[in-house]
Structure 1
Amino acid sequence: MSLTRRGVVLLAATALVLAGCSSEGSGGEASDKPASEKVTVEWWNIFTAEPSKSIMAERVKEYEAAHPNVTIKNVPIENEAFKAKLATVTQSGKAPDIFATWGGGMLQQQIDAGLVKDITADTQSWVGNFTPAALSAYQFDAKMYAVPNDIGMVGFWYNKALFAKAGIAQPPATWSEYLDDVKKLKAAGITPIALAGKEKWPGHYYWAYLAMRIAGLDALKQAGVDHDFTKPDFVSAGEHLKQLVDLQPFQKGFLGAGYSTPDGQAATVGNGKAAMELMGQWAPSVESDAGKGLGDDLGFFPFPSVEGGKGVATEAFGGGGGYAVGADAPAEAVDFLKYMLEMPQHTKAVEAGIILPVLKGEESAVKDPNLAVVAKALVSATGFQLYLDQAYPPAVGQEVNDSVAALIAGSKSPDEVAKSITEVAKSE
């Protein structure tokens, strides 16, 4: 699974920060308990860095002041330590009252184990405030098992000056145009793409997006049910990726390159040594931290459509963060989440650049021009696909990463990639 990616997102963009609302919140109608009866809600989160940690502590104080009978036990845990601790606790058949989740296959396993509460009825009056894309990772069989707080998408971040030098007037809209632009960049003596081949998860973005564009979102969802990735459209995704790989578009030494290291993918783009990278909304920040950053020369375009494919360019691929409620949690747990996700304070967090909009109408609050482009694309998205290494069970997601990395390295064929993923999926 792409654990490194999630750590990078946390450090670079202070991701997954929930902001609360004022003391004029939900009114304390969380349960039928007498107001004097004390209730404790344990909240596991990954807000260990500033300003997130202080913001969360303040929100907890506000909620407790408005609800004197409720104590929120705020438990911030470092990202990787959180995953390990949650795994240990859930294996014992328990879960915290509220805990961070990325949705997808891991959440599905927790639901199947009876560890997560169905909050469909509890959120019915306010779930309509969220955008459809933000909700998609937390809904199973038309039921809600978590609520979103942050969202993002993957797309191409590119160097406008290098594109102009290669004679490329505008970003490509189709896969054929994209391959032509790669050739133009190479002809101009410019490295077209930076890739962190060592870390594997960045490479899976290419195969996943091509599968979306060729097979369509419904096919990816169906593959999660019938565990069959050998259908022609999935093989075709690998064949299209091989078309790109055969052009040798990546920087020298890419197979040993990291993502956020001084000589890695982000720095290569940020220092102007490659024309583009396929990456999430945190890319501009990491490019500036690991390299110099591109300033006004940085641009963004969505993954192109594929001629004859069943998917369209307005369907987005990405992820985010949300919160699940433990099966045995008191009703006040959902009330606390509602309080935290009301528009005024959540929008303040968006304005601060801490998170991207998950509520309808928040997109105008995004001040950073690069993030504004992503936010607008998400608002207008006609469909959304969670990262495949999160959407599917962990072992399947890892095989996607491993097999696609092997295809990019030249040690697996498109057909072998499809068969390997299928074998693991059927064994789960």
Structure 2
Amino acid sequence: MNNVCRYSMLWATLALATMANAGTLNVNIAFKGASQRVIWEKVISEFQRENPDVKVNSAFVEEETYKVQLPAWLTTMAPDIIRWHEGERMAYYASRGLLEDISGDWTANGWDKQFASLKGASSYNGKQYAVPTDYYAWGVFYRKDVFAKAGIKEVPVTWQAFLDACQKLKAAGITPILVGGRDSWTLAGWFDYLDFRLNGYDFHMKLMRGEIPYTDPRVKRVYAEWKKLIDNHYFIDNALSYSFDSSLPLYNQGQGGMILMGTFFSAGIAPEVKTNTGFFRFPIIDKSIPVAEDGAAECLNIPAKAKNKPDARRFLAFVSKPAINAQLADAFGSLPANNLAPVPTDPIAKTGFDILSSTTGGIAQFYDRDMTKEMADEGMKGMQRFMSDPEKIDDILAHLEKTRQRIYKLK
């Protein structure tokens, strides 16, 4: 009789544990800045109120650390939800069988229409492995008060006007351009835009796909134009010692006039500084080249090794609602991925929306989201080498060309 009781208690305990685990959802969120963490905590709380049978365990990890830890999570003890990047960054893991196919959810939830413009970026081999949350434009943030101090009366539309503005800022004792080069992706934004403006979208995307040699004169021209900015000391000194996070206080303190960044940067600008902040399209270098832009998107994914996929699907459906998408975008300084959600009232986000919606030359994701991961990593290391010693252009491009041939198995 005692044995029967013991076994009954054991099975009851196991049943309760199983029930508890079934309602637990583990969510790992990458974030940039405290404001992004706060909005995710709010959204997760709203999800739990609507789904009281689900307990969410959330882990918030700073973006750069997250990138390093993600491969280990996906291949070992995977969470149920991850926040990641669309395009090639997503496809890299989907192609390795590490993300769940959620094509059925796209059909069931009407996402084919609501996220129509981002379906391609959410897909690999015709199947969907991500649901987008938001996207953002890239452009140049600038301090209106700092521009006024330097005697700059108009936003630079052309490259020459941009160079003139840099010279005026420098003459006034102000660093013209801030960049957090320790995080190499901040440099990739400069490569993207110089390549867009000098060579156009089609050339850029062929380069991203490994179809153009890095020793091509048109690639060198991008670096040569970039070198002029470095040689004239328009970038902050010791740019590689600053991260993305450390560049924000410099902007808030007025130590630099401009920074090339996605609209998400606006979420961290101090309120008193934001009233003095403007945002403009990257200047035109060659009028004959149709204007192209970066319009990078963020997403949520279910790892293939997730333990609670049913509740993970419920979470994706919740976050994808127009109202929730709008909340996230408003807090991030970005734009909602769901086309039924209202455009945020933030003036910088609205300017970003206008930039992307008026773009006729093509919209890319971003350097490391349009290119296979290994090539992108090598390319961004090369950019850091270049910022450190711009005289090494030829050596850097020769190395990248050898890397391209190896990665894409070219003879």
Asked if 1 retains the 8 angstrom alpha-carbon contact of 2:177 and 2:236, the reply is yes
Which residue, 21, 30, 41 being the options, matches 1:53? 41
Task: Please name the residue that 1:271 is paired with.
Answer: 253
Root-mean-square deviation (CA, aligned residues, Å) is 3.5
Asked if 2 retains the 8 angstrom alpha-carbon contact of 1:190 and 1:275, the reply is yes
Residues 226 and 283 of structure 1: CA distance in aligned 2, closer, same or farther (over 3 Å):
closer
Unmatched tracts of structure 1, length 5 or more: 1-37, 66-70
In structure 2, distance between residues paired with 1:75 and 1:165: 45
SS of match in other structure, 1:154: strand
Task: Please name the residue that 2:376 is paired with.
Answer: 397
Q: Deviations for 1:226-248, whole angstroms, at most 9, x for unmatched residues?
A: 35442333222112211222222
Any residues of structure 2 matched to 1:274-285 within 5 Å, and which? 274-285=256-267
- Alpha-carbon shift at residue 302 of structure 1 (Å): 1.4
In structure 2, distance between residues paired with 1:392 and 1:404: 15
Task: Please name the residue that 2:61 is paired with.
Answer: 78
Which residue, 75, 100, 115 being the options, matches 1:130? 115
Asked if 2 retains the 8 angstrom alpha-carbon contact of 1:193 and 1:251, the reply is yes
- Alpha-carbon shift at residue 121 of structure 1 (Å): 4.9
- Asked which structure has the greater CA Rg, the reply is 2
In structure 2, give the amino acid aligned to 1:260.
D
- Alpha-carbon shift at residue 59 of structure 1 (Å): 0.6
Aligned pair 1:369/2:347, yes or no? yes
Task: Please name the residue that 2:50 is paired with.
Answer: 62
Residues 401 and 118 of structure 1: CA distance in aligned 2, closer, same or farther (over 3 Å):
same
Aligned pair 1:157/2:141, yes or no? yes
Aligned pair 1:242/2:224, yes or no? no
Task: Please name the residue that 2:298 is paired with.
Answer: 321
Residues 426 and 74 of structure 1: CA distance in aligned 2, closer, same or farther (over 3 Å):
farther
In structure 1, distance between residues paired with 2:325 and 2:115: 12
SS of match in other structure, 1:219: helix
With normalisation by structure 1, the TM-score equals 0.74
In structure 2, distance between residues paired with 1:354 and 1:181: 26
Asked if 2 retains the 8 angstrom alpha-carbon contact of 1:317 and 1:387, the reply is yes
Aligned pair 1:210/2:210, yes or no? no
In structure 1, distance between residues paired with 2:311 and 2:243: 43
In structure 1, distance between residues paired with 2:26 and 2:133: 15
Moved more, 238-247 or 141-150: 141-150
Work out the percentage of aligned pairs sharing the same amino acid. 25
Which residue, 171, 180, 193 being the options, matches 1:196? 180
In structure 2, give the amino acid aligned to 1:317.
D
Residues 109 and 126 of structure 1: CA distance in aligned 2, closer, same or farther (over 3 Å):
closer
With normalisation by structure 2, the TM-score equals 0.77
Unmatched tracts of structure 2, length 5 or more: 1-20, 32-36
- Alpha-carbon shift at residue 81 of structure 1 (Å): 6.3
In structure 2, distance between residues paired with 1:137 and 1:197: 27
- Alpha-carbon shift at residue 342 of structure 1 (Å): 1.8
Determine which structure has the larger helix proportion and give its number. Answer: 2
Asked if 2 retains the 8 angstrom alpha-carbon contact of 1:159 and 1:275, the reply is yes
Residues 325 and 153 of structure 1: CA distance in aligned 2, closer, same or farther (over 3 Å):
same
Aligned pair 1:171/2:179, yes or no? no
- Alpha-carbon shift at residue 185 of structure 1 (Å): 3.0
Residues 423 and 331 of structure 1: CA distance in aligned 2, closer, same or farther (over 3 Å):
farther
Task: Please name the residue that 1:148 is paired with.
Answer: 132
Residues 109 and 202 of structure 1: CA distance in aligned 2, closer, same or farther (over 3 Å):
closer
SS of match in other structure, 2:218: helix
In structure 1, distance between residues paired with 2:169 and 2:240: 21
Residues 212 and 42 of structure 1: CA distance in aligned 2, closer, same or farther (over 3 Å):
farther
In structure 1, distance between residues paired with 2:210 and 2:239: 35
Asked if 2 retains the 8 angstrom alpha-carbon contact of 1:305 and 1:311, the reply is no
Asked if 1 retains the 8 angstrom alpha-carbon contact of 2:89 and 2:368, the reply is no
Q: Deviations for 1:380-422, whole angstroms, at most 9, x for unmatched residues?
A: 4454322323433333222222212222333444444433333
Q: Deviations for 1:50-84, whole angstroms, at most 9, x for unmatched residues?
A: 3422431331441466xxxxx57644343466555
Residues 327 and 244 of structure 1: CA distance in aligned 2, closer, same or farther (over 3 Å):
same
- Alpha-carbon shift at residue 111 of structure 1 (Å): 1.8
- Alpha-carbon shift at residue 299 of structure 1 (Å): 0.8
Residues 380 and 363 of structure 1: CA distance in aligned 2, closer, same or farther (over 3 Å):
farther
SS of match in other structure, 1:78: strand
Q: Deviations for 1:292-321, whole angstroms, at most 9, x for unmatched residues?
A: 963422111111222056440xx3325342
In structure 1, distance between residues paired with 2:324 and 2:116: 17
- Alpha-carbon shift at residue 40 of structure 1 (Å): 6.1
Any residues of structure 2 matched to 1:234-383 within 5 Å, and which? 234-261=219-246, 265-288=247-270, 294-307=273-286, 310-312=289-291, 315-317=292-294, 319-327=296-304, 333-334=312-313, 336-351=315-330, 356-364=335-343, 366-382=344-360, 383=362
Any residues of structure 2 matched to 1:11-22 within 5 Å, and which? none
In structure 2, give the amino acid aligned to 1:234.
V
Residues 212 and 89 of structure 1: CA distance in aligned 2, closer, same or farther (over 3 Å):
same
Asked if 1 retains the 8 angstrom alpha-carbon contact of 2:134 and 2:328, the reply is no
In structure 2, distance between residues paired with 1:355 and 1:211: 24
SS of match in other structure, 2:336: coil
SS of match in other structure, 2:176: coil
Asked if 2 retains the 8 angstrom alpha-carbon contact of 1:156 and 1:276, the reply is yes
- Alpha-carbon shift at residue 205 of structure 1 (Å): 1.5
**Number of equivalent positions:** 376
Aligned pair 1:386/2:374, yes or no? no
